[in-house]
Amino acid sequence: MIEGAQPYFGMGYGYDRFVASMFRAAYSFKERYTLNGTFRYDGSNLMGNSPVARWLPTWNVSGAWDIDRENFFNPDNKILSSARLRATYGLVGSLGNATNSSAVFYNQITYRPYENEKEAAIDISSLENSELTWEKLYELNIGTDLSFFNRRLDLTVDVYQRNIFDLIGSIRTSGIGGQFTKTANYGEMKAHGIEVTLGGNVVRNEGGLNWRTQFNFGYNKNKITKLEVDPNIWTLVRAEGAPMEGYSQRGLFSIKFDGLDPQYGYPTYINEEGEKDTYIYLQSDKVDNLVYHGPTDPILTGGFFNRVEYKGISLSALFTFAQGNYVRLQPTYASSYNDMVSMSKDMVNRWIMPGDETKTNIPALLDNLTGDLRVMRANGSTTSAIYPYNAYNYSTERIAKGDFVRFKNITVAYMLPQHLVSRVGLTNAQVALVGNNIALLYSDKRLNGADPEFFNNGGVAMPIPRQYTFSLKLGL
């Protein structure tokens, strides 16, 4: 920093121009049929210079049919109280992570050891991106709203299909022009899913017992259908997941574990060439021998809520759940450790002596003599034990399911009687005790107690702690 004459702190400004125009029309016929249409025309200088790339017309058409207002619908129907059918189709655009269309230059001071040798220079931050265009999404959504039993029970169902193309991301280039990584439209994907909400007032008595319950879930899947990027092994085995054509947007892959060495207990794998080996070249783009587990994002999510009220006392509880995703366990294995390292309790079941490779898949703790061991490779050469132990953290042995069921919230509240609070000049008063993140009722045992919602998500977030709050609300 000092040698380059660069400041320790700085602040910069970014400028862009965005123009949008919109037209909307709506029509309703006999309060039964509703039709809406929206047209937008957007332009941004973050996109390429050509009018086709920079300007994007988007549109949306939606309609609804109130079936319960038709003449054939029986208003005295004791089962189905109301019914509505909805549909939407349109094109949506997004800027994605586009930052510039023109070349971006910065002034700087050259790196020189002496002050009298430094001089002004111009640094190319980003080359011209003249062909970059908007991310686009065609979406079809069909839904219905139904009420049953004199509107005591409500059901909402939405089904969607999305076709996404011109996705924006970073791709590697040949380096011509001085930039090895460039932002471009590099992919396409499809997604579909269903979202359901079922709820109602199971018991409804004015001034007496009331019970409200609601259950909702969403099932969502996506798949990369085109990707102009060849991911390497390291990109795919990271905990965050990565896109790969034919798989989920954030798919999680692993190096294929192939047992422990019978003499020393170090791990072996199936390498990028399909051979048993101790060394994996993580920068290789030969990924056919990786094992695909699934997405890092849940496929099925939902919650179950209940609220009971009786004469000013209310009790509510919320349970949440998720299913279908996988998480990478914390990378805790190495060929050597120091006194500052906290080991996993799995080490109790590690390889200790020849023959243990038939009983466990946890590698041995190497001593000082074998800690620098040159382990054998498939081609007859040797490599340091550092590499097979590091690869173990990204192997099929270090994967857990992200499924969970959580007791998310409970609230107990009491509304003081009106005749008591009015004596002290108040309109209302309520005391409440709220508990959040009460308990994790179910999760994969391989997590060893770690929270599947916040596990290994980049190292910047902590699990939500268990919290209890007492509150007093007064109305004046």
Nearest 5 degrees, angle CA 53-CA 229-CA 294? 115
Query: CB under 8 Å to 325, separation ≥6 — which residues?
Result: 294, 295, 296, 297, 298, 299, 401, 402, 403
Residue 202: closest CA among 309, 302, 320, 301: 309
**Alpha-carbon distance 61 to 321, whole Å?**
34
Q: What is the fold, at CATH topology level, of the domain defined by 1-229?
A: Maltoporin; Chain A (2.40.170)
pLDDT of residue 439: 92
Per-residue pLDDT of the chain (476 residues), as tens digits, is: 455 555 666 677 777 888 889 999 999 998 899 999 999 999 888 888 778 788 999 999 999 999 988 888 887 888 888 999 999 999 999 888 787 778 888 787 887 888 788 888 887 777 888 888 999 999 999 999 999 988 889 999 999 999 999 998 888 877 777 778 888 888 999 999 999 999 998 888 877 889 999 999 999 999 999 998 889 999 999 988 999 999 999 999 999 999 998 988 889 999 998 999 998 999 999 999 999 999 999 999 999 999 999 988 999 999 999 999 999 988 888 888 888 877 888 888 999 999 999 999 999 988 766 545 666 666 666 678 888 999 999 999 999 999 999 999 999 999 888 888 788 888 888 899 999 999 999 999 988 888 888 765 444 456 778 999 999 988 88
Report the greatest alpha carbon distance in the chain: 94
> CB–CB of 450/330 below 8 Å?
yes
**Alpha-carbon distance 405 to 422, whole Å?**
44
**Alpha-carbon distance 119 to 67, whole Å?**
76
**Alpha-carbon distance 153 to 475, whole Å?**
33
pLDDT of residue 109: 82
> CB–CB of 329/456 below 8 Å?
yes
Please give the helix or strand (H or E) that residue 336 lies within, else none.
none
Please give the helix or strand (H or E) that residue 145 lies within, else none.
strand 135-148
Tokens (6 digits) for 247: 């798989």
Query: What are the C-alpha distances in Å from 201 to residues 212, 238, 412?
Result: 4, 46, 19
**Alpha-carbon distance 300 to 402, whole Å?**
11
**Alpha-carbon distance 242 to 300, whole Å?**
20
Q: Residue holding tokens 């969607």? A: 160
Please give the helix or strand (H or E) that residue 125 lies within, else none.
strand 120-126
CB atoms inside a 10 Å sphere around CB 377: 18
Q: Residue holding tokens 């997590």? A: 447
DSSP letter, residue 151: T
Domain ranges of the chain: 1-229
Helix (H, G, I), strand (E, B) or coil at 357: helix
> CB–CB of 130/50 below 8 Å?
yes
Answer positive or negative: Cα dihedral of 136, 160, 188, 291.
positive
The β-bridge partners of 211 are 203, 308
pLDDT of residue 100: 78
What is the phi/psi pair of residue 187, to 5°?
Answer: -160, 165
Strand segments (E) across 271-334: 276-277, 291-295, 300-310, 313-323, 326-328
DSSP letter, residue 242: B
Please give the helix or strand (H or E) that residue 419 lies within, else none.
helix 418-421
Residue 6: closest CA among 110, 125, 122: 110
pLDDT of residue 198: 96
**Alpha-carbon distance 69 to 82, whole Å?**
8
Residue 469: closest CA among 431, 433, 430: 433
pLDDT of residue 371: 47
